[in-house]
């Protein structure tokens, strides 16, 4: 069926929330490039970048209010809360090795997958009264979102800076232990100390990158992303066949195949 105006608005609002979060992330991370271009904070400084992110978020809030549906407002404002909580999770780290992966996946959900999951849920609410469909949409978005971020974390080690549009090994330089690092840690336990000091000593980033590429960390993270995409496909396959359903299934394959 045709996309409703309110559903199109949800897509616009989701992009605005995402963009605002990237502008703020670049300030926190002191990043100098994004998608191959200079970041807002590099061009105009941190103060204006923070205000620019706030402005985009306020415009999204106005657009959200105009939809006039309190359920949709509740669903999409959850995304903003999750983004902030996810950033706080990213700033911390777990001493217990067994807790680290759960911490990483929770951070990944809150920072990336919540936006996709709740956006899918919002458009399903606007298009269909059945709560079962809303849950399918949410689970599809959640699994695609986590897979997307897992592949992003793989590309940080395997893609060139020009392809990626930002510097490679950026997460290590920020002190972040992503999936490839956590898997590599099982083969190279000496990485534990580096993780706890957030790769802050001279040579830590280079050594950690070498360990990751020598291990099966990249492969294991890719396998995990495939499992999440398989689950997303399983969820969306509960809906009746349609060209749109097939497009959503193909999207899971695109998430896995991307190189930038």
DSSP 176: -
Check whether residue 96 and residue 7 sit in a common domain. Answer: no
Q: Clarify whether residues 152 and 127 are in a common domain.
A: yes
Q: Is the pLDDT of residue 96 over 90?
A: no
User: Based on the domain organization, do 135 and 188 belong to the same domain?
Assistant: yes
Say if residue 93 is in the same domain as residue 21.
no
Whether the per-residue pLDDT at 1 is higher than 80: the answer is no
**Co-location of 59 and 88 in the same domain:** no
Q: Could you list the residue range(s) of the whole structural domain that residue 19 is in? A: 1-68
Average pLDDT, the chain: 94
pLDDT above 90 (res 61): yes
155, part of any domain = yes
Average pLDDT over residues 53-62: 98
CA distances in angstroms from 49 to 16, 56, 69, 115, 250, listed in the order given: 15, 11, 31, 21, 36
pLDDT score recorded for residue 145: 98
Mean pLDDT of 192-205: 94
pLDDT in tens, 144-155: 999 999 999 999
- The answer to whether residue 122 is domain-embedded is yes
Domains held by the chain: number: 2
Q: Please report whether residue 207 resides in a domain.
A: yes
Question: pLDDT band at residue 93, thresholds of 50, 70 and 90?
Answer: confident
Model confidence, pTM: 0.94
Given 11, 39, 68, which residue is the final one in a domain? 68
Instruction: Give yes or no for residue 162 having a pLDDT over 80.
Output: no
* Mean pLDDT value across residues 51-77: 97
- Cα 246 from chain centre: 23
User: Do residues 235 and 119 share a domain?
Assistant: yes
Q: What is the pLDDT of residue 161?
A: 63
180/61 same-domain check: no
What is the phi/psi pair of residue 61, to 5°? -65, -40
Residues 5 and 94 in one domain: no
CA atoms within 13 Å, Cβ hemisphere of 22: 15
The CB density around residue 197, as the number of other CB atoms within 10 Å, is: 12
Whether 61 is in a domain gets the answer yes
187 within a domain of the structure (yes/no) = yes
* pLDDT at residue 168, rounded to an integer: 73
Count the neighbouring beta carbons within 10 Å of the beta carbon of residue 139: 19
SS (H, E, C) 69-120: CHHHHHHHHHHHHHHHHHHHHHHCCCCCHHHHHHHHHHHHHHHHHHHHHHHH
- Backbone torsions φ then ψ of 203, nearest 5 degrees: 90, -10
Whether 34 is in a domain gets the answer yes
73 found inside a domain: no
Q: Which of 116-130, 133-147, 149-163, 227-241 has the lowest mean pLDDT?
A: 149-163
220 part of a folded domain: yes
More confident: 202 or 164: 202
pLDDT of 166: 66
pLDDT of residue 77: 96
Q: How large a percentage of the chain has pLDDT more than 90? A: 89
Residues 151 and 232 in one domain: yes
Question: The domain spanning residue 87 has which CATH number?
Answer: 1.10.600.10
User: Among 85-99, 158-172, 217-231, whose mean pLDDT is lowest?
Assistant: 158-172
Q: For position 259, what pLDDT does the model report?
A: 85
Give yes or no: residues 92 and 180 share one domain.
yes
**Residues 145, 118 share a domain:** yes
**Is residue 180 scored above 70 in pLDDT?**
yes
pLDDT score for 165:
67
Shared domain for 109 and 186, answered yes or no, is yes
- Two structure tokens written together for 71: 């359920």
Write out the H or E segment, with its range, that includes residue 35.
none
Rounded CA-CA distance 89/20 in Å is 19
């Amino acid at each position: 069926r045709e996309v409703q105006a309110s559903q199109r608005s949800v897509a616009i609002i989701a992009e605005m929330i995402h963009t605002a979060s990237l502008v703020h992330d670049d300030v926190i991370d002191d990043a100098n490039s994004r998608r191959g271009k200079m970041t807002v904070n590099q061009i105009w400084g941190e103060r204006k970048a923070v205000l620019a992110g706030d402005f985009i978020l306020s415009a999204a809030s106005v657009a959200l209010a105009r939809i006039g549906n309190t359920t949709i407002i509740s669903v999409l404002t959850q995304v903003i809360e999750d983004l902030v909580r996810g950033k706080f999770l990213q700033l911390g780290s777990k001493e217990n090795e067994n807790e680290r992966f759960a911490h990483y996946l929770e951070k990944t959900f809150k920072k990336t997958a919540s936006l996709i999951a709740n956006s899918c849920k919002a458009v399903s609410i606007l298009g269909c009264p059945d709560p079962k469909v809303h849950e399918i949409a949410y689970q599809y978005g959640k699994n695609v979102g986590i897979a997307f971020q897992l592949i992003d974390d793989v590309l940080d080690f395997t893609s060139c800076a020009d392809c990626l549009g930002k510097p490679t090994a950026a997460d290590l330089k920020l002190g972040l232990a992503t999936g490839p690092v956590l898997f590599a840690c099982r083969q190279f336990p000496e990485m534990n100390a580096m993780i706890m000091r957030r790769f802050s000593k001279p040579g830590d980033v280079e050594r950690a990158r070498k360990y990751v590429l020598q291990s099966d960390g990249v492969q294991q993270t890719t396998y995990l992303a495939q499992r999440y995409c398989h689950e997303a496909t399983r969820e969306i396959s509960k809906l009746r066949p349609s060209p749109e359903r097939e497009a959503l299934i193909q999207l899971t394959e695109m998430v896995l195949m991307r190189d930038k």
